[in-house]
């Protein structure tokens, strides 16, 4: 994941109260959660073989939404799997890139799983999700 200087505003969790009040974000989070559940249903071997980063763009309510799945080793804790969604918007943006060229503002949401060394899935700790939110 390429990290650019950015300002994060507010939550990027699908568990926020805003999700229920914003139909677009609600649909994005529903799609994000479904992707996480499909990953949870895979075997630990399949999840460990995922690419480090893979993106797909979908059209949701007329907005281009990019879903990116990340796989990252977190040492002895296991493997972090994150599904991140991003769509450009000025309305309720929660991320503003500070890059002079190619910068963007929009809404990002991210949730994740931690695949532990013994092959169990747990919810990813908040501290591991910060760089994706």
- Per-residue pLDDT at 122: 96
Decide if 92 contacts 22 (C-beta within 8 A). yes
Tokens found for residue 52: 């480090």
Q: How far apart are CA 115 and CA 118, in angstroms?
A: 8
pLDDT for the residue numbered 21: 87
pLDDT at 75: 92
56 in Cβ contact with 66 (< 8 Å):
yes
Give pLDDT, residue 4.
61
Q: In the prediction, which pLDDT does 2 show?
A: 46
Helix H segments across 6-120?
Answer: 18-21, 23-40, 44-48
pLDDT in tens, the chain (133 residues): 445 666 777 788 888 877 888 899 999 999 999 999 999 999 999 999 999 999 999 999 999 999 999 999 999 999 999 999 999 988 888 888 776 556 678 999 999 999 999 999 999 999 999 889 8
Instruction: Give start and end residues of each alpha helix (H) in the chain.
Output: 18-21, 23-40, 44-48, 126-129
User: Cα dihedral sign for 80, 86, 92, 98?
Assistant: positive
Query: What is the per-residue pLDDT for 102?
Result: 62
Q: Report whether 72 contacts 79 (CB < 8 A).
A: yes
């Amino acid at each position: 994941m390429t990290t650019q200087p950015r300002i994060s505003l507010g939550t990027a969790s699908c568990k926020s109260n805003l999700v229920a009040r914003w139909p677009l974000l609600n649909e994005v989070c529903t799609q994000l959660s479904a992707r996480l559940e499909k990953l949870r249903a895979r075997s630990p071997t399949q999840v460990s073989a995922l690419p480090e980063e893979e993106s797909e763009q979908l059209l949701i309510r007329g907005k281009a939404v990019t879903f990116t799945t990340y796989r990252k080793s977190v040492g002895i804790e296991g493997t972090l799997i994150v599904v991140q969604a991003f769509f450009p918007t000025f309305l309720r943006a929660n991320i503003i890139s500070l890059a002079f060229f190619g910068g963007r503002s929009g809404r990002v949401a991210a949730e994740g799983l931690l695949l532990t060394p013994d092959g169990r899935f747990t919810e990813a700790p908040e501290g591991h999700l910060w760089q994706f939110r």
